Amino acid sequence: MLTDRAGNGAGNIAPDPGHSAHHPLRTGGDMLQLVSPEGERISHPEFDLWIKDVGDEQLGSLYEDMTVIRRIDAAATALQRQGELALWPPLLGQEASQIGSSRSLRDDDFVFPSYRETGVAYVRGAHLSEIAKVWRGNALYSWDPQRINMATPQIIIGSQSLHATGYAMGVQLDGASTAVLGYFGDGATSEGDVSEAMVFAASFQAPVVFFCQNNHWAISEPVRVQSHIQLADRATGFGIPSMRVDGNDVLAVMAATRVALDRARKGGGPTFIEAVTYRMGPHTTADDPTRYRDANELEDWAAKDPILRLRRLLDAKGLLTDELEAQVKAKADAVGAELRASCINMPDPEPLDVFNHVYSSRNPWIERQKDHYSRYLNSFTQTVEEGAL
């Protein structure tokens, strides 16, 4: 729920594209939820308007998206356990946050992700081989950012928030209507980069949306240790409007993201969204969450599973047909098989490829290193040939 600076309810303001740029600041309040864990559709006068176009067919598509990216995640985790990937950052449990937000974007919007936004990359059009190659160790980059308007995954915690703000300031100077969406986790809010990004975004009213997936665990540190207030309330101190939404509710996430993106495009400045979700798997496949997490906590959150929630809504509306189930399963199976095949059959990079794409234009320093390394590699071939003679 949005509130004004004094904490008074602002629910009487009917949000539409004309009002979105003028939403008041939020200073606490309820978490937005449009679908309960039991699959019950909850009406909300402030946000229903923003998802009025999401009909039966669109609900089925969202269900498919979420099921498919869960299959990608499961397949990649299995590939890592089998030695085909060096590492993998699971997204299990965060499907609604990623699909609801990314399906709210326009093609010309630009995304700055962390390392966990596999679902967002899938929606933006990244090839499965591009998603896998970094984690296989075959390349230093993933996809061409300009092709899908999405930066490559950022490993350094929170630094992409600065990149997102800088890009948004550039968009503002260009006079474009593009919005920028930057993703990070709850742990990143403890990093200075995120604070600096919000300072600049607020000062220059940059068209950027800070999308925080609060999955409750920054590796082994619980969010209650990182912050004694709701993360959404931190943004208020920077003068940035914020929303706190149920991150396992795909419709709530979509509504909130649409409000924030529309606000950005119309000159309303930045918005902070805290999507309250849960990391049901490990931080990465190198992590063992059983060492620091209570099994009962995982069980509680499993009951709020985002895909199960949408299934229940579809079932209540009479949309969970055998035909839909078969369609979704076939798509997930096909995508899982494609990911596995593209990973296993991925060609190894050539040794000199490490020098490619370091700079966007010719660089004598890099070329000199490449030449030295090439002659070094050739020396082994010459030694073998001489020995054969």
Residues annotated as catalytic are 279, 283, 292
The span from the CA of 49 to the CA of 19, in Å, is 12
347 Cβ neighbours under 8 A, 6+ residues apart: 138
The total of other beta-carbon atoms located within 10 Å of residue 33's CB is: 18
- Give the start-end residues of each E strand in 94-154: 110-112
The span from the CA of 293 to the CA of 367, in Å, is 50
The span from the CA of 228 to the CA of 333, in Å, is 43
Give the burial string for 236-245 (b: 16+ CB within 10 Å, else e): bebebbbbbb
The span from the CA of 4 to the CA of 13, in Å, is 11
Q: Is the four-CA dihedral 22, 162, 101, 26 of positive or negative sign?
A: negative
The span from the CA of 7 to the CA of 261, in Å, is 23
The span from the CA of 205 to the CA of 44, in Å, is 28
The total of other beta-carbon atoms located within 10 Å of residue 344's CB is: 12
Residue 125, Ramachandran bin (φ over 0: left; ψ between -120 and 50: alpha; else beta): left
Q: How far is residue 70 from each of residues 64, 73, 143, 297, measured CA to CA in Å?
A: 10, 5, 21, 21
Closest CA to 323 of 55, 64, 75, 37: 64
76 Cβ neighbours under 8 A, 6+ residues apart: 85, 88, 118, 131, 132, 135, 339
Quick one: how far is CA 172 from the chain centroid?
23
